[in-house]
Amino acid sequence: MKFSLSCGDVVPGCVARFESDSRDDVLGQVGAHAVAHHGITELTPDVLRSVESNIALSA
C-alpha cells in the first residue's frame, strides 16, 4: 500500500509528487515542501483537510 499526493491537486500548477507507505510520512513531506516552496509556515486545519482529502491510496 502506497499513499501518494500530487501537490498540484492542492496548489494548482505545482508538479511535486510525494509517495510513501506511511500516510504520516507523506504529510511530513508535504509540510516540508509547502514551507520551502509555497511560503506556507503553518499547515492550518483548512490546508491540512485539503491535503488529506487529496491523498491517494494505491496497492
Residues in contact with Zn ion by CB under 5 A are: 7, 11, 14, 16
User: CB 44 → Zn ion: shortest distance, Å?
Assistant: 16
User: CB 59 → Zn ion: shortest distance, Å?
Assistant: 25
Nearer to Zn ion, 16 or 47 (CB): 16
- In which order are the strands placed within the sheet that holds 56-58? 17-20, 2-6, 56-58
User: CB 10 → Zn ion: shortest distance, Å?
Assistant: 7
Q: Which three cell numbers stand for residue 11?
A: 496548489
